[in-house]
A = this chain, B = another copy of it.
Amino acid sequence: MAERVTSVQVAQKAGVSQAAVSRVFTPGASVSEKTALKVRKVAKELGYRPNSLARAMVSGKSRIIGLVVAYLDNYFYPDAVERLSNKLQERGYHVLVFMASQTAGNIDDVMEEILDYQVDGIVVASVAMSSEITKRCQSAGVPVILFNRDQDDIAISSVTSDNYSGGRALADVLVADEHEKIAYIAGWEGASTQRDRELGFRDGLSAHNRTVFARGVGNFRSDQAKDTARVLFDVAPNKRPDAVFVANDHMAFMVMDVLRFELGLSVPNDVAVVGFDDVPPAAWLSYNLTTVRQRANVMVQKTVDTLLSQIENPSTFCPTQIKLDSPLIIRGTTRNLNR
């Protein structure tokens, strides 16, 4: 087990100072062509590469971005994580993952841990943060951006889709399809996405003088969504909703399965189903779900751009709440009468 090669060793062998070696590996530093060549040659021979941690310590820039994420079982997030990681990697950053799940203690502890790693920035996905910890990051000079979550705090940047308009658009669809008993299955009530989608949906129904016929809660969890679907739909036909907006696709698939395979109902003929996210399985023909697309690639791009600009120009920066439009995707779980 050979030791790690340091800049000192390269310097010695190349007959230059250690600082010279450092400069060769620092973009934009002033070194002569000659020295650079010599140093690179020796470095290659010895297998030298600069130690990122040492560099981080002295420069104060780790080029590490902390990512807090809770549930990867909603396929919206793995997809986002992959894109995020790729985009950051392209720009010379890397992602240090922190799961904020049940077992891992609460989110504030996790955030503290992240700060210990002297990260240059933090992306918080699918999680709400206390304002204390937001302040803590601010005072540590570490920019934070919320991904797919909104917070009333104007001091914190966020990237979301227009959940409200999306919900409204879905209401329009169900009303246009002449449904009478329209249900809603909610996500986790603590999430801004849940709240905004429901509000948009209800406002959309109101605009047509309709209201929600029945409501259940699925908490964005597939098992709970199934239970809720059974409660709502395993009833006498006249009490049964004829359409339902499920707060995300992940739950909508489970609801569809209950409707079709447990209750023997037809989607969309007996019950129309709409979801939110447009995760890949929504386009799979077995589901073919009418939904609202969260444009994950654009969301990620905005997240990266915003965060890195904040990191790289801390002075000129001002927190921004970005809300992306979220197109309606009409597929086969609605009747689409007038199309």
Residues of A participating in the B interface, judged by any CB pair closer than 8 Å: 1-2, 4, 47, 49-54, 56-57, 62, 64, 67, 71-73, 75, 77-79, 81-82, 85-86, 89-90, 94-99, 101, 103-104, 112-113, 115-118, 136, 138-141, 222, 253-254, 256-257, 260-262, 280-281, 284-287, 314
In the assembled complex, the Cα of A47 lies from the Cα of B138 at a distance in Å of: 13
Apart from A49-B112, A86-B99, what are 8 other A-B pairs with CB-CB below 8 Å?
A: A2-B139, A47-B136, A51-B57, A52-B117, A82-B99, A85-B97, A95-B96, A261-B286
User: Shortest Cβ distance from A293 into chain B, in angstroms?
Assistant: 17
In the assembled complex, the Cα of A270 lies from the Cα of B57 at a distance in Å of: 64
- Residues A94 and B72 in contact in the complex (CB < 8 Å), given A101-B86, A285-B261: no
Closest residue of chain B to A254 (Cβ to Cβ) is B284
B62 and A89 within 8 A (CB): no
A90: which B residues are within 8 A, CB to CB? 103-104
Name the contact of A116 in the complex, choosing from B52, B116, B136, B281 (C-beta under 8 A).
B52
Name the contact of A94 in the complex, choosing from B117, B140, B222, B281 (C-beta under 8 A).
B117
B96 and A96 within 8 A (CB): yes
A4: which B residues are within 8 A, CB to CB? 118, 140
A81 and B73 within 8 A (CB): no
Closest residue of chain B to A110 (Cβ to Cβ) is B89
In the assembled complex, the Cα of A314 lies from the Cα of B1 at a distance in Å of: 11
Closest residue of chain B to A253 (Cβ to Cβ) is B284
In the assembled complex, the Cα of A79 lies from the Cα of B1 at a distance in Å of: 34
A53: which B residues are within 8 A, CB to CB? 53, 56-57, 62, 117-118
A78: which B residues are within 8 A, CB to CB? 72-73, 75, 77-78, 81
Closest residue of chain B to A2 (Cβ to Cβ) is B139
A113: which B residues are within 8 A, CB to CB? 94
